[in-house]
Amino acid sequence: MANVKKKLWENNGTISATDGIRASSLNFEKGQRTRHQQKGNGFGSKTKTEPHRQSLNDSLEGDVRAFLIDEETLHTYDDLTKVNPVTPTTVLKCLQARYRVKVFYTHAGCTLVALNPFQPIPHLYSLDVMKEYHFAPQPQEFKPHIFIVAEEAYRNVQGQVEPTDQSLVVSGESGAGKTWTSRCLMKYYATVAASSSSPKCQDTIERIEKRVLDSNPIMEAFGNACTLRNNNSSRFGKYIQLQLNRSQLLVGASVQTYLLEKTRVACQAANERNFHIFYQMMKGATEEQRQEWRMPRDQLFAWLPNADKSLEEDCFKETTDAMKNLGITKEKQGQIFQVLAGLLHLGNVSFCPPTDESQPCNLEEQSKDFLQCTADLLQISEEQLLACLRLRTLRAGKQSVLLKPCSMAECSMRRDCLAKVIYAQVFDWLVTFINRSICADKSSWCNFIGILDVYGFECFTLNNLEQLCINYANEKLQQHFVAHYLKAQQEEYVSEGLKWSFIKYQDNQSCLDLIEGNPTSVFSLLNEECRLNRASDARQFRTRLEKELSNNACMSWDKFSKQPHFTVSHYAGRVSYQIEGMMEKNKDPVPPELIHMLQASHDPLLQGLFAGQNTEESSGRGHSKVVTVVSKFKNSLDSLMKILHSTTPHYTRCIKPNPECRPLTFKKEEVIVQLEACGIVETINISAAGFPIRIPYLSFLQRYGMITNSRICKQSINENGLEPDKNILGPAVADVLDVVLRSHSLDPSKPSETDSCSSLVHCGKTKVFLTHSMLELLEGCRDRVRSQRAFCIQCCWRRYRRRKREAQERAATRIQSVIRGWLVRREVLRWSNAAALIQRTWRKWRTAMEALAEAELDDAANLQEQPPAYDPAVRERGSVQLSSCQEPVLVRGWPLGLALASAPNITVAVTATASGLQKVVSLMACLKLPFRSGEYKVETNQFEQGVASIRAQPRESIKLHLQKSPLLYADTCPGKKGDGVTGFNQILLEKP
């Protein structure tokens, strides 16, 4: 819901009020509310009659007493808009009750009120609390906290509508806790905007987060100081832009500063201190650093008052560690601290009047060592430094230069000026270095969240130009709040047709006109006085102010005061400003000889700081071109206000419970003044009575038109762009509201006696005005419609996916069957080709074997046959047991394998013809038959054991009848029988 607020309010339409929608307005008279109901035709009737003023006062007092009678429940009001009646007394009592039970944050309509506890409360800002608020669906339902404001701004950046830059304005008096609040906001964003799943990206974000957080202690050390109202008072204004990419991750930051109070370096009020960095150096430096900086522990410095006062901010190591993390090298740190040490020694340089007025002032005896230390630390010539402090350069023409001795006051002023210009340049260098270190490229970020921490409203015994500028900045911020919340809202209610009785509020526009108005104002007269080529006269300037600005009610004077001054009635109170010295501070002159001296320094830091300085601009010539302090401050503040106007602001009002800064001490007089000055009561009244959310018709339909399935947005677009149609948008908006109200039993056609829809919504001429509760109803209804449509889309998508998956399965099955058929056909074809190849090879082999067998039979005829003298049975079988034969045996050629199948060792005498001898030898070698003579011994590598046979075609046909495939017995050896006939010979001898 948070991303809708303030997002859809930009595009204004021009539409008349629509019929059928009733409106309500709230009339406040002495704190009492009266409600009016208005129908669409413009006629309405009061539901309550307005009582007389006396009865109103009595009734109001009675309501206040009735509300305050139960004090035990006052601390439960976490939103002051729930207080009834809303008066300064009831608001103050609620804040006091909550402060008593240690509850420091309270909602006040569109703002958050933060009470300073003046003591550390770590558990209130722990990491677990940050995650709790960040991951909450509705952070507004949690207890009031600064993290709610931070989370609302963060969600607005990542809203569904076009993202808008956000600004968090932290305002309040000095010591109210603005700096601490800004520090908590930076820590929150550095935590929630730094989550990433990628380890490499996480390391980058953590480095950026650390650099952004490390910029805080550096800026506070060099820009904050202890004042009468605050131990850690910001003496400059800063606007920190946290840069986010499209994923809302923190990728960088930038710091813009406004009006550093550099006069504090050389001038501190009673019971106040200089900037923190000087005390950190004195208390945290090592012995080696002390010797280098000429700063012994017992040394007293005039510009270091109240050095014995210890503060939490006096932590030198934290500052140096932060500088190191930002990339400031140890060498560069040494140069910075050496220059600052030289400024402390410069503060102890004092002068005494000379005996002769024509001679320059004399240097006091105890100041000589400090002058020498200053020259050594700044690496400049001691003689040149002394001359620049005591002699003033005058130019007579373009060439001639005259040296005029300065008075003792002028010497002190030149010494202070030297210190201020050096410190201001060092501070600006630090800001520039920090920006270079933490700022991201413009292409890497698209939105930012700005945190504004400025000096609070100040009123001291003596107030000068610094306090005038500080209070002027607070007036500008107050006017921005008034214009944004108090004034603009009420004027818009009237222009949109709501019956509205204006709630009075304190408008500080007249005070701003007094300070910065045209053609005549304090600033314009001050600048004009500074540009005149004459000596400054405080009384003359006061007389001119009385003459030009006496008609402004915010300006007054004390006629009995001896000191020239003027009093301004600010929104937070009256402040009297001393005129003496105001013109000199506004001119802020820097003698050119001081710039020349610093440019000639051997210190690399000072050379870099003043290398680009133009001494002609720093001189006293050309007064019409002088840029004064108030002019520069006004221009920078105007640029800041432009940024604030271009962003969605979120206000946090810091309240200081007591002026002594004591823990958990609540002083009603101190708080009530701040509440009235900030307009908290008026803000609560307007927030409670009005409609904080205003959405143009077209934007409303673009977001909530889906509730009624409205197509008005598309119809309202023509060739010229978006042109809202008065006759279309109004009824469409009424239909959407009617559906939402009916769904929550809030039928607009049936008004209720207790409450009606008119208190929730009102349709104006061009906008829809909503309360937070009505916005929640709209968002809830929109979420339900989106959920239903998402469910419908999911169903259609699942049905489509299922059908597509089924079609894909059928297609895959068909493809698989085709591929399988193709694979089978290819395999069968391969088998066929292989079978044909085998057949061809077999036929070739069989032909070769037949030829071989025939050749062997032909060769066997040449052998000498001798009839064997053996058993006829053996002869009939075709095999002879030769193992027992002692005589040579004559064997025929082809049955030789059959006869000798089982004979392991035989001796055969073969008689062969000359032509068949070779065949016989080959045959004997195959059968492994050794020759008797021993002359020939043939060994084969074909068979080590087993049976060798001669393949010969039998004389008769052989038929094999197999019941099973012979391949089953391919790896089986035939059995060995007792007759010794095995192998293929056995198959041949078996009868068919």
Binding residues for ATP: 172-179
In sequence order, what DSSP letters do the residues of 772-785 get, joined into one string?
A: HHHHHHHHHHHHHH
List Cβ neighbours of 889 (8 Å cut-off, separation of 6 or more): 868, 880, 882, 908, 909
Q: Are strands 447-453 and 166-172 parallel, antiparallel or unpaired?
A: parallel
Please list, in sequence order, all residues whose beta carbon lies within 8 angstroms of the beta carbon of residue 238, skipping any fewer than 6 positions away.
219, 223, 255, 256, 257, 258, 452, 453, 454
Mention every residue, 6+ apart, whose C-beta is less than 8 A from residue 37.
Answer: 22, 23, 24, 44, 45, 47, 751, 756, 758
On whether the CB atoms of residues 99 and 665 are closer than 8 A, the answer is: no
Specify whether the CB–CB gap between 909 and 888 falls below 8 A: yes
Q: Report yes or no: 292 and 342 within 8 Å, Cβ to Cβ.
A: no
CA 974 from centre of chain = 88
Percentages helix, strand, coil for the chain (3-state, rounded to 5) are: 50, 10, 40
- Alpha carbon distance 932, 364 (integer Å): 144
Query: Buried b / exposed e across 84-115, counting CB within 10 Å, b at 16+?
Result: bbbbebbbbbbbbbbbeeebbbbbbbbbbbbb
Radius of gyration of the chain (CA): 53
Are residues 184 and 117 in contact, defined by beta-carbon separation less than 8 angstroms? no
Beta bridge partners of 28: 33
Task: Give which of 260, 259, 241 is closest to 251, Cα–Cα.
Answer: 241
- Dist. CA 668–CA 658, nearest whole Å: 8
Residue 821: what residue type? Answer: G
The annotated binding site is made up of 172-179
DSSP for 280-348, written as a single string: HHHHH--HHHHHHHT--TT---TT-TTTT---TT--HHHHHHHHHHTT--HHHHHHHHHHHHHHHHHHT
Tokens encoding 93: 């009592």
Among 951, 920, 926, 950, smallest CA distance to 938 is for 926
Half-sphere exposure of 574 (CA within 13 A, CB side): 10
Evaluate the CA torsion angle 759, 763, 764, 770 in order and state its sign: positive
CA 296, chain centre distance (Å): 45
Q: Which two tokens stand for residue 227?
A: 């004042």
Instruction: Quote the crossing angle between the two packed helices 629-645 and 465-481, to the nearest 10°.
Output: 20
H or E element at residue 718: strand 717-718
User: Which amino acid makes up residue 274?
Assistant: N
Tell me which residue has tokens 């035989």. 906
> Across the strands, what pairs with 652?
112, 170
Give CA separation, 33 vs 501, 505, 689, 773, in Å.
11, 17, 8, 19
CA distance 319 to 312: 13
DSSP string, 552-578: -TTEE--TT-SS-EEEEEETTEEEEEE
